[in-house]
Amino acid sequence: MEAMRGGKFLQKFRLYETRSKFYLVGRDKSRTLWRVLKIDRLESTDLGIQEDPTSYTENECQELLWRIHEGNRLTGGLKFVTKCYGIIGFMKFLGPYYMVIITRRRKVGTICGHDIYSIGKSEMIAIPCPIVCPNVANSRDENRYKRLLCSVDLTKDFFFSYSYNIMRSLQKNINDKNTGHVVYETMFVWNEFLTRAMRNHLKNTDWTVALVHGFFKQSKLSVSGKDFWLTLIARRSRHFAGTRFMKRGVNEKGRVANDVETEQIVFEDTPDDIPSQITSVVQHRGSIPLVWFQETSRLNIRPEITLKSDVDYKATRLHFENLVLRYGNPIVILNLIKTREKKPRESLLRAEFAKAIHYINKGLPDDKRLKFLHMDLSKLSRRKGANVLGLLNKVASDVLELTDLLHCEITTSSKPLDASSGQGPCDIKINDDFCAATMVPLLLQKGVLRTNCIDCLDRTNVAQFAYGLAALGRQLHVLKLTEEPKIDLHDPLADDLMDFYERMGDTLAIQYGGSAAHNKIFCEQRGQWKAATQSQEFLRTLQRYYNNAYTDPEKQDAINVFLGHFQPQQGKPPLWKLDSDQHYNIGRQGTLSEETGSRFIKRSLSDGNILCENSAPVSDRNVGENNTASELLPVQQLDDIREPTDSAPEIYMCETNPCPSTKYSTMPGRHSISQERQSYLKRLGYPELHSSNFLDLDLLSSSGNSCDEEAFESRSSIIHSPLDGISVGSTTTYSEPGHNDEGRDDTDLSRSSSQLSDSRDYSDRFAQWVANGGMLCY
């Protein structure tokens, strides 16, 4: 909502009706400002809204309502309908318009004096009077569309604020003065489509609330006897939004599936809820930005991954350009998918992702190149004695050296906030008492960490917790609540933070994957009984499979209707009669695209927006136009190049030493690749033969972090190097993280993987499936 006169916001409403109109009366928190909105009920198909420009006092508003009642006495007078707390939006299917309102709210937190709410209950009300309501209003298709919209449970995981732009990070709010329409057009406002007609007509956002979908949790914690507030926010993008197998990868506009921004805010506890300092750190998760998909199958619990070619990696490049626009440089990529599999699935994406990063980096200056780290977290977690969280914490600390975090000082004054004075982006209004808070940034975050696994749920959540823990240590340190900028994994504060991230992971996993997250690593960290953990993981795997196979298609339809990606039209096929993603190729008038009949596109490839190009927000259409990359080289044929053999011992991180480019020198103590082989691969355009271009990687030391190979892992088959004629001896072994070659004979490298077999492989894998249900989902 925009600020009203004197910096006030409408927060509470009462809805009245006559035979011809709805009257929505809104007031501010202090009951000093009253406004009236009129909605025409005699119009059967169009939306007629009129805002009374007068600002009333409480007595004046009561007088007005009495006059309206007297003037409509012959038709029943003025009747009270319900109290509410804001308009979510207006929706039209095949017949009349409906108004969706919040009838109950819950306060879930406060940020700098701004209250944050979730929805306790919502209601959908038909606008037209029954005497003019069209016959189609009660048709079978109309009722089905209504049920679809109502199946989007607004009481779960949606939150909003009247006075704070919760759809933007704290740093974005400080640096960006834009309010009103602009913030509604951002990627994290889920009711942008529902409110569009009203906002465009009234030219303001006084009556609507901007809903953010994701996760919000705030709690008071203590360290060294000092109290502080920890807030964890996850914002899910409305672009390319959907369920697990319906939305995969990236679309042609550079928007990825399961795109979630996570913000961790920390500030000290004060009696007036206005801290003197506040810190924030943002990280990002999103599907692997390649054009790929998986076909939903009720017979196959692990559908095959299909990778579609993308010339010059245009979609991938658009995605990273968008990240730079949102967060700046550097963009640090933490890729957690598997490096090696007996039947390649994830590893296909890993290889292609590495090629894409390498290709994009070739056209960028050194200081703007994408920084990456490929880490097979699944394999690391299966190694005996592996300290996965410790390793991730080291990585997180190194990344924080690059990106830093936001740290602000807050000063307050009793001077009223003048919205037209242009005081600067650091002025933030506090409540309705004319108290202005001025934020002075001492540190700013630059760039962002982007984490992904195959689903961006389970493994990604573990890595995000490790990053959050490393960030929390620094946040408490800059607030002068601790002496050291580090929190030990066994500290009680780490357990509290783990609970935050575990709850967030479960919430995001249910939204996208259909079940709570697989939290095996968290359970092991707490020392929980292994048998109970295995049982829980197995049940969650079954739940995820069932929802993906049987309920996700209808859930995807509901999301498409709610977001306006599909708009019903009279005389056109209804949503549930369209195969695949045909409905995404339907224009505003419901006509089918010519391409629909000639090519079959899976749901996961759809853009998720069928509106005309000129109807998209300007802020969205401009994304990617200012290309920061220089002209890239012609695309090279790399499809025939496979990943180098995985034949090095496990590695851990040593001290950080950020590199300005992706060119590496041989590190002391590491087996290096022959110059001949490096030159050969460079001519082919293959990515650099290291798993990171910003961290120094060293062999695993014996300092207590030993990761002995499990029995079944040591019996795995050796993948033959794909480069014939190039010998790989003991002194020219390629180092890849997550693989142990101790005890292997180098002469085995001459054998093809097809020549190797293991009679016990199936039983071992089956045992792992029973023990770790999550394996079925990866």
Taking residue 661's Cβ as centre, other Cβ atoms within 10 Å add up to 13
pLDDT tier, 117 (very low <50, low <70, confident <90, very high otherwise)? very high
Characterize 493-532 residue by residue with b for buried, 16 or more Cβ atoms within 10 angstroms of its Cβ, and e for exposed.
bbeebbebbbebbbbbbbbbbbbbbbbbbbbebeeeeeee
Q: What percent of the chain has pLDDT over 90?
A: 43
pLDDT tens digits along 736-771 = 333 333 333 333 333 333 333 343 444 555 455 444
pLDDT at 428: 54
Q: State the distance between the two ends of the chain, measured CA to CA, in whole angstroms.
A: 42
* Share in percent of the chain as helix, strand, coil (round to 5): 35, 20, 45
Residue 765 has which token pair? 């894998």
pLDDT at 543: 66
Average pLDDT over residues 121-140: 83
Average pLDDT over residues 423-440: 53
Residue 32 has which token pair? 């000093």
Contact (Cβ atoms closer than 8 angstroms) between residue 304 and residue 294:
yes
- Strand, helix or coil for residue 413: strand
Residue 450 has pLDDT above 50, yes or no: yes
Report which of 407, 122, 467, 431 is spatially closest to residue 262, judged by C-alpha positions.
Answer: 467
Residue 679 has which token pair? 């030159």
Report which of 589, 453, 568 is spatially closest to residue 512, judged by C-alpha positions.
Answer: 453
pLDDT at 700: 32
Contact (Cβ atoms closer than 8 angstroms) between residue 285 and residue 464:
yes
pLDDT tens digits along 216-274 = 999 999 998 899 999 999 999 999 998 888 888 999 999 999 999 999 999 998 887 78
pLDDT at 550: 67
Name the more confident of 125 and 647: 125
Report which of 732, 673, 664, 739 is spatially closest to residue 696, judged by C-alpha positions.
Answer: 664
Average pLDDT over residues 701-706: 34
Largest distance between two CA atoms of the chain: 99
* Separation of alpha carbons 291 and 307, rounded Å: 6
pLDDT at 456: 82
Residue 389 has which token pair? 């969280």
pLDDT at 297: 67
Q: What residues have CB less than 8 Å from 551, skipping those under 6 apart? A: 514
- The mean of the pLDDT values for the chain is 74
Q: What residues have CB less than 8 Å from 644, skipping those under 6 apart? A: 689, 721, 722, 723, 734, 736
pLDDT tens digits along 10-26 = 999 999 999 999 999 99
pLDDT tens digits along 391-412 = 899 999 999 999 999 999 988 7
pLDDT at 691: 73
* Separation of alpha carbons 741 and 718, rounded Å: 9
Out of 170-179, 525-534, 632-641, give the one with best mean pLDDT.
Answer: 170-179
Stretch among 121-130, 144-153, 733-742 having the lowest mean pLDDT: 733-742
Name the more confident of 242 and 550: 242
Contact (Cβ atoms closer than 8 angstroms) between residue 217 and residue 231:
yes
Name the more confident of 125 and 680: 125
H-helix segments, 151-217: 170-175, 181-184, 192-202
Stretch among 88-92, 136-140, 496-500 having the lowest mean pLDDT: 136-140
Query: How far from 218 is each of 109, 117, 263, 302, 460, CA to CA, in Å?
Result: 6, 12, 12, 36, 21
Residue 646 has pLDDT above 60, yes or no: no
pLDDT at 56: 94
Taking residue 487's Cβ as centre, other Cβ atoms within 10 Å add up to 23
Name the more confident of 631 and 234: 234
CA 339, 357, 401: angle at the middle one, nearest 5? 90
pLDDT at 101: 97
Taking residue 684's Cβ as centre, other Cβ atoms within 10 Å add up to 13
pLDDT tens digits along 325-360 = 999 999 999 999 888 888 888 888 998 999 999 999
Query: Residue 146, by phi and psi: left (phi above 0), alpha (psi -120 to 50) or beta?
Result: alpha
Q: Which helix (H) or strand (E) holds 408?
A: strand 406-413
**DSSP letter assigned to residue 550:** I
* Separation of alpha carbons 542 and 776, rounded Å: 9
Residue 89 has pLDDT above 90, yes or no: yes
pLDDT at 298: 65
Report which of 290, 284, 361, 383 is spatially closest to residue 325, judged by C-alpha positions.
Answer: 284
pLDDT tens digits along 580-619 = 553 443 333 333 333 333 333 333 333 433 333 333 443 4
- Strand, helix or coil for residue 495: helix
Average pLDDT over residues 48-71: 93
**DSSP letter assigned to residue 593:** P
For β-strands 49-51 and 34-40, DSSP reports them as antiparallel
pLDDT tier, 457 (very low <50, low <70, confident <90, very high otherwise)? confident
Name the more confident of 443 and 432: 443
